[in-house]
């Protein structure tokens, strides 16, 4: 089978690697470059090309984007340059990389990977994968099927965008202790639980690496709350999965 490549475009870094789809793992060590600042489309696309060219890859490429993506077009850009709004990102990547390209939301990509190879493996019913980082990303699944672009990080919490209060960047910004931040995460989880009644909530994003610091501080709730298993690689793996599906 043709190799499939995954690229995770984040607020601070752009990382990519060829993916072993059967194992749901990176086939080679990933290559990372810093996300250009400002993160305007042309600069990011050039950085992505550098990441892909680092490998001798000639197959489909899947790419994550930290905003809403519908039909390859990026529609929102909460934490990246506003030049992405309304752009045919998929078309742009195809042209510049000269390879088949598929673009999807970053949390959706992480969710696909967790459902296939990580903490959501084999789980039916309603599963919510949440990523805590610069923002809060969400991926909603029902019986393993993704409802894309749910954007639950922008629910309103105490009169504010929820991600401004409860993303892990809010912990850094306000110098919160783990206990204080866990309190905010609990409030946020109360809200999503009230709205969606998920049976399982998977907590991902960079901070999930330190899950033992805050998951035990969260209160008991109806939904089972577990850490993501693929951690840093979830976006790359999920992006490659989406590209493979599109190439089928
Ligand atoms: C964006 C989402 C994204 C999340 C995590 C939010 O601000 O609106 O699309 O998934 O951040 O990057």
Question: With 0-12 CB in 10 A as exposed, 13-18 as middle and 19+ as buried, what is 114?
Answer: buried
Mutate to test the pocket of ligand 1, among 65, 106, 130 (most ligand atoms within 8 A of CB): 106
Q: Which residues contact 109 (CB under 8 A, 6 or more apart)?
A: 6, 8, 62, 64, 234, 235, 237, 238, 239, 241, 242
CA 104 / ligand 1 centre spacing (Å) = 11
Q: Is the pLDDT of residue 3 over 90?
A: no
pLDDT averaged over every residue in the chain = 97
How do residues 107-164 score in pLDDT, each as one tens digit? Answer: 999 999 999 999 999 999 999 999 999 999 999 999 999 999 999 999 999 999 999 9
Q: How many CB atoms lie within 10 A of CB 88?
A: 14
Q: Which domains are delineated in the chain? A: 4-108+234-247 (3.30.420.40), 120-228 (3.30.420.40)
- Rounded to two decimals, the pTM is 0.97
Q: Take atom 1 of ligand 1 and give the residue whose Cα is closest.
A: 67
CB 184 within 8 A of CB 165: yes
3-state secondary structure of 106: helix
Report, as an integer, the average pLDDT of 67-88: 97
Q: Is the CB of 79 under 6 A from ligand 1?
A: yes
131 lines ligand 1 (CB under 6 A): yes
Q: Which residues pair with 200 in a beta bridge?
A: 127, 224
Taking the centre of ligand 1 as the mean of its atom positions, its distance from the CA of residue 76, in whole angstroms, is 9
Residue 164's Cα: distance from chain center in Å?
Answer: 17
């Amino acid at each position: 089978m043709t190799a499939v490549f995954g690229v995770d475009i984040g607020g601070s870094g752009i990382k990519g690697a060829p993916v072993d789809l059967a194992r749901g793992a990176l086939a080679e060590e990933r290559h990372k470059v810093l996300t250009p600042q400002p993160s305007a489309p042309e600069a990011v696309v050039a950085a992505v090309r550098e990441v892909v060219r680092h490998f001798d890859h000639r197959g489909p490429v899947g790419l994550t984007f930290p905003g809403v993506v519908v039909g390859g077009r990026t529609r929102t850009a909460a934490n990246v340059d506003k030049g992405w709004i309304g752009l045919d990102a998929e078309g742009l990547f195809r042209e510049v990389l000269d390879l088949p390209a598929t673009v999807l939301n970053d949390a959706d990509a992480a969710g696909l990977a967790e459902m296939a190879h990580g903490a959501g493996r084999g789980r039916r019913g309603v599963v919510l994968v949440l990523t805590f980082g610069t923002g809060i990303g969400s991926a909603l699944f029902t019986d393993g099927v993704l409802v894309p672009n749910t954007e639950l990080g922008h629910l309103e919490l105490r009169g504010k965008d929820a991600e401004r209060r409860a993303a892990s960047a809010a912990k850094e910004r306000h110098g919160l202790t783990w206990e204080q931040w866990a309190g905010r995460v609990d409030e946020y989880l109360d809200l999503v639980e009230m709205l969606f009644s998920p049976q399982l909530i998977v907590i991902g994003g960079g901070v999930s690496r330190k899950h033992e610091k805050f998951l035990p501080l969260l209160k008991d709730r109806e939904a089972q709350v577990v850490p993501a298993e693929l951690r840093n690689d979830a976006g790359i793996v999920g992006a490659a999965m989406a590209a493979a599906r599109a190439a089928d």
